[in-house]
Amino acid sequence: MNQVIDDCVHCGESTAFGSGRFVNRVGANDGWSCSECLRVDCDRCGQLIGFGEDLNPYDCGLEQFSDGSDRICRECMTWFETWVEKNYWEHTND
């Protein structure tokens, strides 16, 4: 029986079923990427943000963040950014 490994193209860890990385793997150019390798740094606090959990200005209904950040974590949002995001999504879903 051949074991399918499906290594992550970045770190080399297995993304095969039963590896613990199967559910959150993402298709990459020549294979798969684990979600851990797709995390990004928050431009404000420097902490790693989980794949798909980062916020950019457009997600919040803004043209740009006031400090020029591109990607931030939810914990680093200012009260104003939180307020604009809430109102943006309330009116977008109307």
What is the reported pTM? 0.76
Q: Mean of the pLDDT values across residues 31-47?
A: 95
One domain, residues 53 and 74: yes
pLDDT in tens, 51-64: 999 999 999 899 99
One domain, residues 10 and 53: no
Give the pLDDT confidence score for residue 53 in this predicted structure. Answer: 94
Q: Read off the tokens for 42.
A: 């928050």
Please enumerate in sequence order all residues whose Cβ is within 8 A of that of 75, keeping only pairs 6 or more positions apart, or say none: 45
Domain around 73: 40-92
Lowest mean pLDDT among 20-29, 48-57, 65-74: 20-29
Q: Mean of the pLDDT values across residues 79-94?
A: 84
One domain, residues 44 and 28: no
